[in-house]
Amino acid sequence: MRFRCFAKINLSLEITGKRSDGFHDLVSLVHTVSLADELCIEPAETLLTHVEGLDIQEEDNLVARAAGLLATTLGGSRGARLSLVKRIPAAAGLGGGSSDAASALVGLNALWGARLSVATLCELGAALGSDVPFFVRGGAALMRGRGTELDDLPPRRGQWLVLLVPPGTIADKTRRLYAALEPTDFSNGEMTLHAADRLRNAEALDERALVNGFERAARRMFPGLEEMWQAAERLAHRRFSLSGAGPALFSLTASRAEAGDLAGRLARLEARLFVVRTVAHARARIAALGGHHRVRLSAT
């Protein structure tokens, strides 16, 4: 089995307050996009994982952790070889590791004939990370609480956008961004709920509602992000928004041609640029046929 594991963007993300357990509550509108890692799952006697395109420690490898968690849950002797090719920039706010973990759970559930339900896979995914349950299905969703409470929404098909990923990141990014939040960064979630309603009603997204509660902290903590953000908006003559806890930025466009033109104007920046579109599922199944590739979208 070979999967394309799609990234996500947080079209809007509001942090509504700090919980008694030390975590934060949020309301976020999330959507999968066509930038993807590739995960191949094959039968094997033992569990083996290989990652290409990212130097990662075993304890930080969410694919290995997902495989180990599912094997432990099912019991008995379980084996598989999982080979991952990374294309989604790591620690950028695009959910690549979580998407890979969800694909590993779904793929191994099929390979091992476990027949676990989507709800059970989501529960297992929540133990790996707050974004993993979303990636079991993908598409569009309104995310609440710690991020594991999901309301499915009708996906927006073919919305083109440009992703801009500045170089570098910071260690222990998510924890440090949450720790840097101030009361002025919190809001009541109304802007995100407004954006979700527009998506639900198949209306054009109002960019004024695409907010992110991490914006102030991200501009301050990521070296060079403020300057990169200003330069991108100056060259593009349009607004860019933060995805997740950053530092990835995105801007919506009206067409693929407009997205390509925008990426061309931003090419002078020292950043990774991607022209992508929204997709309605978490992953695509790839089958090799006579040297060509057939892609089938998978809703699971």
pLDDT of residue 288: 52
Quick one: which H or E segment has residue 200? helix 190-200
Mean pLDDT, the chain, integer: 92
Distance in angstroms (rounded) separating the CA atoms of residues 12 and 74:
37
pLDDT at 293 over 70: no
Q: What is the mean pLDDT of residues 11-37?
A: 93
Q: What are the DSSP E strand ranges found in the chain? A: 2-18, 24-42, 47-52, 80-85, 140-145, 149-153, 160-165, 241-242, 249-252, 272-277, 283-289, 292-298
Which region among 82-86, 164-168, 288-292 has the lowest average model confidence (pLDDT)?
288-292
Q: Which residues pair with 153 in a beta bridge?
A: 140
- pLDDT bucket at 287, cuts 50 / 70 / 90: low
Residue 41: beta bridge partners? 82
Q: What is the pLDDT of residues 167-207, one digit of tens each?
A: 988 888 989 999 999 999 999 999 999 999 999 999 988 88
Share of the chain above pLDDT 70, in %: 95
pLDDT score for 67: 97
**Number of compact structural domains in the chain:** 1
Contacts 24+ apart (CB under 8 A), 69-73: 69/124, 69/127, 69/128, 70/104, 70/105, 70/108, 70/109, 70/112, 70/114, 70/124, 71/47, 71/108, 73/124
Please state, as a whole number, how many other Cβ atoms lie within 10 Å of the Cβ of residue 204: 11
Give the mean pLDDT of 234-240: 96
Q: What is the pLDDT of residues 49-94, one digit of tens each?
A: 999 988 877 767 999 999 999 999 999 889 999 999 999 999 999 9
Amino acid (one-letter) located at 299:
A
Give the predicted TM-score (pTM) of the model: 0.93
Active site residue 8: yes
Question: 18: number of CA atoms within 13 Å, CB side?
Answer: 11
Beta strands in 146-259 (DSSP E): 149-153, 160-165, 241-242, 249-252
Measured in whole angstroms, how far is the alpha carbon of residue 34 from the centre of its chain? 11
Give the per-residue pLDDT at 225: 96
Sign of CA dihedral 288, 290, 291, 293: negative
Please identify which of the residues 8, 86, 100, 185 carries the catalytic annotation.
Answer: 8
d(CA 188, CA 26): 9
Does pLDDT of 295 surpass 60? no
Give the number of other CB atoms < 10 A from CB of residue 137. 22
- Looking at per-residue confidence, does 19 or 40 come out higher? 40
Active site residue 21: no
Residue among 86, 131, 173, 185 flagged as catalytic: 131
Query: For the domain that residue 42 is a member of, what is the CATH number?
Result: 3.30.230.10
Residue 249: which domain range? 2-298
Token pair of 257 as six digits:
């041609």
